Amino acid sequence: MEPLIRLTDLKKTYVNDGVETPVLHGVSLEIQRGEFLAIMGPSGSGKSTLMNILGFLDQTTGGHYLFDGEDVSTLNDDQLAAMRRTQVGFVFQTFNLLPRTSVLENVALPMMYDRVPPVQREQQARAVLRAVGLEHRLEHLSNQLSGGERQRVAIARALAGNPSIIFADEPTGNLDTKTGVDVLHLFQQLHRQGHTIVMITHEREAAEFAQRIVSIRDGKILTDTCDHAQRTGRFSK
Amino acid sequence: MLNALDGSVNNMLTRDLLTTSVTALRRNKSRSALTILGIVIGITSVILMLSIGQSAEGLILNQVADLGADLVFVEPAAGDPTAGPPDPFIEQTLTLDDAEALEKSPYVAAVSSTLTSTLTVSYQEETQFTSINGTDHNYLEVFPADILYGRFLGEDDVKSYARVAVLGLEIAQDLYGDQNPVGMKVKVGDVSMRVIGVLDEQGTRFFQNLDDQIAIPVTTMQRDVMGLDTVNYIAMVAVGDIEMVKEEVRWVMRDEHNIDNPDGDSAKDDFFVSSQSDAVEIIGVVGAVLTLLLSSIAAISLVVGGIGIMNIMLVSVTERTREIGLRKAVGATRKEILQQFLVEAVLLTLLGGLAGVFCGVVISVLVGVVGAQLLDGWTISIPVSAIFLAVIVSTVVGVIFGVYPARQAAKLDPIDALRYE
């Protein structure tokens, strides 16, 4: 079966004031539907750049990126926006919720840009908030929530559009250990329900929650290990 | 522009767009209110100027209409009457002989000559400085007024150099209090005269207080008061087509003054013929110029207001960089971000415009109420077109000054925007 994502010799070079800074030196990677994958590496390794390209926030400067069999390296700005709208959900380190806006509205936001009718939008938002255990917080404003709750709202928002894949960029970076573990368990639970999740992290402890770990350094893939059985055995309750 | 915002397939729903923009504006209520103040003031002044301008023009045109549009005036003027305002030191070329000659023409009626000056008048201990019109019995036919006491000047008074005076109501009250002054003495300049009549209240015309004037025979004014043999102007009522009458008057005057002017070139004349309808035209032009002037001031204030909006929108874009980044990350297109900020700017200016219309109308009504007390015949008029204009203009200001910040927002790179601290 065709993988959801297939990267072939992906390269990315930033050009700033005529100075070229290569960040990715030929990354080849396949991600199957239903995988929970951690991309792990120290800062400066190129993992964020890789996620930005995978999440249609940035374009490659070389190599091929096939998403669901389609070459996306030639998409224009609006087409990239459409891909973000329909195919991916993002979870950020700093949550990036709209301030002074209700939980429900925050979660419904991506569906607004996807032209989902308001009534359906609210129903779907309620459903995903129930899935992340926040059904009692619907009308709270985002700034009235704790860090863990905020990140769960962000996860609900990522789920809301029913995307093909969820990208989480250091999702536990701003959380204490216990809350971080809760969030990671939530990802594992979503993974068991069939969601495809790619998590960027620099912490091995966080990466261990994933089913597969791709470690990256200096713009190249170092190791790619898949040890599903062991890790789920060790961390699941 | 707004057509592109409808809920077609390529766009987010119009309702969502509006809700998003309104929510953003409400989040910063006091800032939004302060931002639109410039627009409010601009639009208020537009409404105010147009409404007061219209009222003033209406008032003046009504006064002109009261006089009748068929009045013709001859004034001394060399050459081009459009060269500038009347020169008070202009050579006086008109005499009573001119008036006599004009009287013979079948095209004019009620020829009235006037020599005017401002002099001291006194009765016992009371002394006033007021406007004296040396004129004749036809004066009231040209400038109608009611007689309160006694009578007006008669033809005999003019012929006999009579030392008689007809007072306006206000000067009569200033000099004599509540008494009927008919038969009493009045001193005009150094000449002692007898009061023969008082005119009823007339109010103001062209910003002159008609009740603070005294009429005496033009002959007495010339010989005994001023020591002159000229008059300042000759007024008459036209019989027939006004342009034809003016031309007739010109030929009579040229004949009188021995001006060889077979081409009818008015630059060669030493007099100038005008009519009330010319005055109406001039008032119209003056009004238009004034409106233009005031409109430019209003336009400047709207530009300043627009710059204020632009400034605040730029601040808002910077403040909300992360929000913009997030919106882009969840799939908003450039166009949708652009629209959101543009709609915010237009909502601000439109709100300012509506508030300005409200303030403008309220102040216009207040000015109208006060104006009606001070000036006879002042009416409140609020041009409906001005209201539509204000709404359209404020929308346009919003679009013009909202485009730049909106474009700044739209072209933000989502990755940078999400990381922005």
Q: How confident is the model at residue B88 (pLDDT cuts 50, 70, 90)?
A: low
Token pair for B122:
């006194």
Select A33-50+76-211+223-235's CATH number: 2.10.109.10, 3.20.190.10, 3.90.960.10, 3.40.50.300: 3.40.50.300
**Residues 6+ away with beta carbon under 8 Å from A187:** A36, A155, A168, A171, A197, A199, A209
- What is the percent of chain A where pLDDT is above 90? 79
Chain A residues close to B12, C-beta within 8 Å: 112-113, 115
Contact check, Cβ <8 Å, B415/A84: no
Mutate to test the interface with A, among B326, B336, B420 (most CBs of A within 10 A): B326
Measure B329 CA to nearest chain A CA, in Å.
Answer: 6
DSSP reduced 3-state for B265: coil
DSSP reduced 3-state for B200: coil
Q: What pLDDT is attached to residue A230?
A: 47
**Residues 6+ away with beta carbon under 8 Å from B170:** B209, B211, B212
Find, among A147, A135, A146, A132, the residue nearest to A104 by Cα.
A135
How large is the average pLDDT for residues B212-234? 92
Considering CB atoms only, which of B323, B326, B328 is closest to A81? B328
Which residues of chain B are at the A interface, by a Cβ-Cβ cutoff of 8 Å?
Answer: 9, 12-13, 15-16, 20, 23, 27, 322-323, 325-336, 414-415, 418
Contact check, Cβ <8 Å, A57/B27: no
* pLDDT 10s digits, B158-179: 999 999 999 999 999 999 988 8
A79 — contact with chain B (CB < 8 Å)? no
Contact check, Cβ <8 Å, A100/B27: yes
> Alpha carbon B285 to chain centroid distance?
10
Q: What pLDDT is attached to residue A34?
A: 93
Token pair for A91:
């979870």
- Of A24-38, A149-163, B69-83, B133-147, give the lowest mean pLDDT range: B69-83
Q: How confident is the model at residue B59 (pLDDT cuts 50, 70, 90)?
A: confident
Residue of chain A whose Cα is closest to the Cα of B325: A96
Measure B9 CA to nearest chain A CA, in Å.
Answer: 8
Considering CB atoms only, which of A78, A84, A100 is closest to B330? A84
Q: What pLDDT is attached to residue A184?
A: 95
Contact check, Cβ <8 Å, A57/B12: no
Mean pLDDT (chain B, rounded) = 86
Q: What pLDDT is attached to residue A119?
A: 92
C-alpha–C-alpha distance, residues B39 and B33, integer Å: 10
Q: Beta partners for B198?
A: B149, B167
Q: What pLDDT is attached to residue B284?
A: 79
8 Å CB contact between B360 and B48: yes
Q: What pLDDT is attached to residue B89?
A: 63
Concatenate the DSSP letters of all residues of A73-122 into one string: TT--HHHHHHHHHHHEEEE-TT--PPTT-BHHHHHHHHHHHTT--HHHHH
> Could you tell me which residue, B384 or B86, shows the higher pLDDT?
B384
**Residues 6+ away with beta carbon under 8 Å from B265:** none
8 Å CB contact between A172 and A148: no
Residue of chain A whose Cα is closest to the Cα of B411: A77
Token pair for B11:
């766009």
Q: What pLDDT is attached to residue B208?
A: 79
A163 — contact with chain B (CB < 8 Å)? no
Backbone phi and psi for residue B380, each to the nearest 5 degrees, phi listed first: -85, 120
What residues does each domain of chain A span?
33-50+76-211+223-235
Contact check, Cβ <8 Å, B330/A110: yes
pLDDT exceeds cutoff 90 at B81 = no
- Of A197-211, B286-300, B355-369, give the lowest mean pLDDT range: B286-300
**Residues 6+ away with beta carbon under 8 Å from B70:** B237, B238, B242, B275, B276
A161 — contact with chain B (CB < 8 Å)? yes
Q: How confident is the model at residue A235 (pLDDT cuts 50, 70, 90)?
A: very low
**Residues 6+ away with beta carbon under 8 Å from B161:** B217, B219, B220, B223, B224
Q: What pLDDT is attached to residue A177?
A: 92
Measure B326 CA to nearest chain A CA, in Å.
Answer: 7
Q: What pLDDT is attached to residue A17?
A: 87
* pLDDT 10s digits, B262-299: 777 777 788 888 887 777 777 778 878 887 888 788 88
How large is the average pLDDT for residues B359-386? 84
Q: In angstroms, what is the C-alpha Rg of chain A? A: 18
Q: What pLDDT is attached to residue B6?
A: 37
- Contacts across the A-B interface (CB distance below 8 Å): 67
pLDDT exceeds cutoff 70 at B68 = no
Q: What pLDDT is attached to residue B28?
A: 86
Q: What pLDDT is attached to residue A67?
A: 94
pLDDT exceeds cutoff 50 at A237 = no
pLDDT exceeds cutoff 70 at B85 = no
Contact check, Cβ <8 Å, B333/A90: no
* pLDDT 10s digits, B183-195: 999 999 889 999 9
Q: What pLDDT is attached to residue B421?
A: 76
How, if at all, do strands A88-91 and A165-169 pair?
parallel
C-alpha–C-alpha distance, residues B95 and B234, integer Å: 9
Concatenate the DSSP letters of all residues of B70-82 into one string: TEEEEEE--S-GG
C-alpha–C-alpha distance, residues A165 and A195, integer Å: 7
- What is the percent of chain B where pLDDT is above 70? 92
Considering CB atoms only, which of A78, A90, A99 is closest to B329? A90
Q: How confident is the model at residue B80 (pLDDT cuts 50, 70, 90)?
A: low
pLDDT exceeds cutoff 80 at A213 = yes
A114 — contact with chain B (CB < 8 Å)? yes
Considering CB atoms only, which of A57, A113, A157 is closest to B12? A113
Contact check, Cβ <8 Å, A96/B322: yes
Measure A142 CA to nearest chain B CA, in Å.
Answer: 13
Q: What pLDDT is attached to residue A228?
A: 57
Residue of chain A whose Cα is closest to the Cα of B328: A81
Find, among B223, B363, B298, B399, the residue nearest to B46 by Cα.
B298
How large is the average pLDDT for residues A146-158? 94
Q: Model's pTM, two decimal places?
A: 0.72
DSSP class of B212: G
Measure B414 CA to nearest chain A CA, in Å.
Answer: 7
A178 — contact with chain B (CB < 8 Å)? no
Q: Chain A window 141-160: which residues touch B at a Cβ cutoff of 8 Å?
A: 157
Considering CB atoms only, which of B330, B335, B415 is closest to A109? B330
Q: What pLDDT is attached to residue A81?
A: 92
Contact check, Cβ <8 Å, A96/B332: no
How large is the average pLDDT for residues B88-113? 85
- What is the percent of chain B where pLDDT is above 90? 40
How large is the average pLDDT for residues A182-190? 94
C-alpha–C-alpha distance, residues B81 and B78, integer Å: 8
C-alpha–C-alpha distance, residues B49 and A70, integer Å: 64
* pLDDT 10s digits, A80-139: 999 999 999 999 999 999 988 999 999 999 999 988 999 999 999 999 999 999 999 899
Q: For chain A, what's the residue count?
A: 237
| Residue B85 amino acid letter | P
> Could you tell me which residue, B327 or B281, shows the higher pLDDT?
B327
C-alpha–C-alpha distance, residues B283 and B290, integer Å: 10
pLDDT exceeds cutoff 90 at A66 = yes
Q: What pLDDT is attached to residue A38?
A: 95
